[in-house]
Chains A and B, each alone.
Chain A
Amino acid sequence: MIDAPKPSPSLSAALRLPFDPLLALAVVGLGVCSLVAVQASSPDELGSYYVVRQAAYFLLGLVLAAAVSRIDYSRLRELKYGLYALLMLSIVAVLVFGSVSRGSRLSIEFPFFSFQASELGKILLVVVLAAFLTDRSRRLDDRDTTARTMLLALIPAAVVMIAPDLGSATVYVVVAVALLFLVGTSWKHFAALGALTATAVALVLVAVPAVGLTVLEDYQKERLTAFLEPSADPADAGYQQAQSQVAIGSGQRTGRGEQATQTRLDFLPEARTDFIFAVVGEGWGFVGAGLVLALYALLIWRAIRVLTMAKNLFGALIAGGIVAMLLYQVFINVGMNVGIMPITGIALPLMTYGGSSVISNLLAVGLLQSIYAQGREASARKGRVAAT
């Protein structure tokens, strides 16, 4: 794999770039699990409708990821303004032209495809923030750096909140905080951020409602607090949580397979999307759910490794942002499936049915492979330099 690369970048050279096979294995494994679970949760009368579409998204995403992995991500640093503009334009466009589904305006309908801008936005934001922080890596103690980084994340977060898409908004904020953390921002800044957040929360939950303004919709508050006491009313969020736990618990050690009912018979709404983990849990039990968790652990481990071997800070920060994004989404989604996290509508990366999510996450994996490839390339060159 550490073949001598040609000094000038060409197509054949790009194809010969190395890639991380374990990372690829984790992604393909999750893809297979996703297809199996999507099929299991499909009503019989729909046949393979969903699974075929999900497979198509995966194929398209893998092609795009492969392409991305062969180019040097470092060029993206120059495009940061363009990428940020794309991010803002797309999520605003969704707000304006998007179609409403279950009370949220999350996507723009195209023929055969509905584009959920906030998903792609997560990747775009990681790249933009990584670029911004790389630029400012010598001025980290400047409060301005921290403030601007947060602002860059909070603006799109505020826009998707209008949709309303609370889940994506929190992803944006988490990514920003994680990148600030990795780049080495002082603890004092985090303390200040914490204080600000506490004040804001107090305002949103107490002061503003007191004057009669609505920031969080009632259903959002309900969803956020439902996991504290799941109830039996199918109309409320606690019902979903309770049914999800029943689904996963009833899977026991090896799952109910064909006998699965919770996820097949609509007891658990949205089994294909937000609660796909429950489908695995019910159908294949602790063995299946454990395997999926292990694949995610593999994915995160490889991503952290990519982070350590990036050839430059920009790459390390992109990898770090992706790690934070994946880890946060996996934890929140699985957490809400097993009943320890509130329901926030965050997708399970690479598992949840849906083109925007699958393709965006595969693009992220493509970026990781690119960072890996460039890192290996650089260290090989350095090694050779050292040798001569």
Chain B
Amino acid sequence: MIQRPEDRLPTISPRLALRIAVLGFVALGLFALVFFRLWYLQVLTGDQYLAEARENRVRELRIQAPRGDIVDRDGRTLVTNTQATVVSLDPSRLPQTERDLAATWGQRAGRREVLPKGQRGRPVPIPPIPSRELRGRFESLGRVLDLGAEEIHSRVIRSLAVVPYGDVNLAVDADRAVLNYLSERSGDYPGVEITQRYLREYPYDELGAQLFGTVGEISPEQLEQERYRDVQQGTIIGQEGLEKSYDRYLRGQDGVRRVVVDAFGRRESSDQMKDTDPVSGRQLRLSVDLRLQEAGQKALREIGGGLPGAFVAMDPQNGEVLAMGSYPSFDPNRLTRPITQERYEELYGEEAGAPRFNRAVSGSYPTGSTFKPFVALGMLQSDQIDVGRTINDGGSITVGGQSFQNAGGQAYGSVGLVKSLTVSSDVYYYTLGLQAHSVDSDPIQAFARKIGFDRPTGIDLPGEFGGTVPDEEWFNELKGLEQECREEEERRSCGIADLDALWTAGQTVQLAIGQGGFQASPLQLATAYAAIANGGDVVTPHLGREITDAADVTLQRIETDPARKIEFERPALEAVRQGLFGAANLPGGTSVGIFDDFPSTLRVHGKTGTAQLAGKGDSSWYAGYVPGGERPIVVVATVEQGGFGAERAAPITCRIMAEWYDVDSECSGGASTSD
């Protein structure tokens, strides 16, 4: 059988066989290559890629936890939250130059802050916008938000100076149309974010404004602090006031929403990730009584006649602050929204009387005659005088060639301890001061320190003034500071102290009437008077009473430091109390008539004070208390440059007490011209 050529089996030539073999090896090689690459990707480095894939798909969004409310002692809401739409700028999307500018500006502004008020000079100017490109960005954004480019720049600088990476708030509660416009064109406005946030809301506007303080994003320095150990970056924490003191209760825990997104950042519906729900903060119940606070602020405003001042009302038994106010005040609601620098200065600057400054706690004042009871107690307790000691008050006394007179120039004749307080005889205390100066143990200063004029009271508010009790050591320290300052600044005088002056009897004499370098805060004075009222307990004042849940159920009582005990000699204490009672009730008393409408069961004790400050008008002071019973109270009031104590501070005190005891009184009777 002959085979046709096309049916002939192809004999595989050696050449073809070789080339098929080459093809086979090439195939083998390629498969091996791919296979090992696959092995490398999936088995050797798979973990890395899995992490990367997870990162791809999961976005963590912070869910802000609402902070706890702050309520008064009866549960009335003083601080709460409101939700607002915030337009903000993510600083990481800003050029580095802008962020550097903010840091430099912040340093300069910070250096200025620590200087004494008189020497600060002009505020540090905001530097110009660093680049044309950034100006263009700010301008186009400004057109949408109705802000100038310079204004946006200034907000960015000021915000970044405080919190370098925190979002810069540009507008709160912007128009719906503006929000829509921005979110639709997010690509045109890099870094602009629109978020829902909780803002603090203050239903009673100016009420207790200086107490609550502010909230803000946690700073990098704070993140490293032990007290913020478990706080995440970006959390809003209390930065001042009670918000800061009780932050760990008020703060709550921000939640996290983990969303699965696709490559375009769109949320996937098949979202099975676990969210962590936000835990809202606890409620803080204060010892403050809303009505008393209202009455106090109203009295301070009306009677103070627009002059700066402060008041404190406290339970002398346990240090619970019932009301505390400072004038001028402000509406904290305005501070939760961004405002211009000019507007801020206008509302909160020094020109506006620094309304954010809490004079009741941070103010440092000579307290005038209100200090006298402690001079008397110091001298009695150290056995320098006895209760029966009388002094002939001829209206003046000469010490070291210098004549010291009674306020108003009156002469009270023979004055004992009780009468000295009732009529407020300066000569009596000048005499005690002169006597004390000759004793090495400094009995007045020692007692002033014992009762707490040399240290902060420990109230649950930051920024407390610790007081100044002048003595020779203090005097020399001041001279040292003056010397240092002159050498450093190369000036002829820094105005801190007179280097040629010596610690003389005249200064102790001044101290004896609450002057001569003596300085205390109204709160310190209230604490000291509370000790007289309660018989020797130097209490720790506090505003926070308890932590409750949203349903007002107490979760935790706030513990305060126990009171320091002072052993009073009974006759001495009784004599001082008698003198203070007389001042408010008996003929010749410095504040007699003011409390006339009070029933005799309410035994008002009180001491006026008129403090002199060089170059300024006299400041009006009053410190009073009503002891015993279920509702004891101690009140201190002061009006800067408000004249005699009985003119303004005493009526303010009277109004507060009247509100507390529900007494119907105008508190306008009488007005002594002596202090």
Query: What is A's interface to B at a CB cutoff of 8 Å?
Result: 44, 74, 178, 181-182, 184, 234, 243, 245-253, 256, 261-262, 265-269, 281-282, 285-286, 289-290, 293, 296-297, 300, 304, 307-308, 310-313, 316, 320, 323-324, 327, 331, 334-335, 338-340, 378-379, 381-382, 385, 388
Contact = CB atoms under 8 A, between A and B. Distances in A.
Contacts of B24: 304
Contacts of B479: none
A290 B35 contact: yes
B38 A265 contact: no
Interface string B1-33: 101001111101101100110111011001101
B57 A265 contact: yes
Contacts of B35: 290, 293
27 contacts: A178-B23, A184-B16, A243-B56, A245-B49, A246-B53, A247-B49, A249-B45, A249-B50, A250-B46, A252-B50, A256-B50, A261-B260, A281-B38, A293-B34, A293-B35, A297-B27, A297-B31, A304-B23, A308-B12, A311-B10, A316-B10, A323-B23, A324-B23, A327-B26, A338-B41, A340-B33, A378-B7
Nearest to A178: B23
B345 interface: no
Given A243-B56, A247-B49, A297-B31, 17 more contacts: A44-B270, A184-B15, A245-B49, A248-B41, A249-B45, A252-B49, A253-B46, A266-B263, A267-B56, A286-B38, A286-B42, A289-B38, A289-B42, A308-B12, A338-B37, A340-B33, A378-B7
Contact of B56 (A246, A290, A335): A246
Given A182-B23, A267-B57, A300-B27, A312 B260 contact: no
Contact of B49 (A246, A310, A340): A246
A247 B53 contact: yes
Given A181-B19, A285-B42, A335-B34, A313 B10 contact: yes
The 8 lowest CB-CB distance pairs between A and B, nearest first, are: A249-B49, A252-B46, A250-B53, A265-B262, A250-B50, A286-B42, A261-B57, A250-B49
Contacts of B49: 245-250, 252
A388 B1 CA distance: 10
Contacts of B262: 265-267
A247 B261 CA distance: 15
B346 interface: no
A248 to B, nearest CB: 5
B294 to A, nearest CB: 58
Given A184-B15, A250-B49, A308 B9 contact: no
Nearest to B46: A252
B10 A338 contact: no
Which of B9, B10, B37 has the most chain A CB atoms closer than 10 A to its own CB? Answer: B10
Nearest to A324: B23
B43 interface: yes
Nearest to A335: B34
B39 interface: yes
B42 to A, nearest CB: 4
Interface string B44-58: 011111101110110
B498 interface: no
Contacts of A307: 20
Contact of A311 (B7, B41, B50, B57): B7
B27 A249 contact: no
B30 A338 contact: no
Nearest to A297: B31
A249 B45 CA distance: 7
Interface size class of B (residues with CB under 8 A): 35 or more
Contacts, number: 152
Nearest to A326: B27
B100 interface: no
A378 B33 CA distance: 37
Which of A246, A290, A304, A307 has the most chain B CB atoms closer than 10 A to its own CB? Answer: A246
Contacts of A182: 16, 19-20, 23
A252 B260 contact: no
A304 B27 contact: yes
A295 to B, nearest CB: 11
Nearest to B42: A286
A320 B52 contact: no
B34 A310 contact: no
A281 B16 contact: no
A378 B38 contact: no
B20 A308 contact: yes
Nearest to B22: A181
A181 B33 CA distance: 22
B472 interface: no
A66 B33 CA distance: 33
A320 B16 CA distance: 11
B38 A340 contact: no
Nearest to A181: B19
A74 B268 CA distance: 55
Nearest to A185: B19
Contacts of B8: 312
A266 B56 CA distance: 11
A297 B24 CA distance: 11
Contacts of B263: 234, 243, 265-269
A251 B57 CA distance: 15
Contacts of B50: 249-250, 252, 256
Given A286-B43, A340-B33, A382 B16 contact: no
Which of A261, A323, A334 has the most chain B CB atoms closer than 10 A to its own CB? Answer: A261
B48 A249 contact: yes
A265 B268 contact: yes
Interface in B226-256: none
A265 B23 contact: no
Contact of A184 (B13, B53, B268): B13
Given A249-B48, A252-B47, A331 B30 contact: yes
A245 B20 CA distance: 33
A164 B318 CA distance: 88
B141 to A, nearest CB: 25
Nearest to B33: A340
Contacts of B38: 248, 281, 286, 289-290, 293, 338
A266 B34 contact: no
Contact of A249 (B3, B10, B41): B41
A152 to B, nearest CB: 20
Given A182-B23, A334-B34, A335-B34, A262 B56 contact: yes
Nearest to B30: A331
B31 to A, nearest CB: 5
Which of A250, A262, A266, A340 has the most chain B CB atoms closer than 10 A to its own CB? Answer: A250
A246 B43 contact: no
Contacts of B270: 44
A146 to B, nearest CB: 15
Contacts of B47: 252
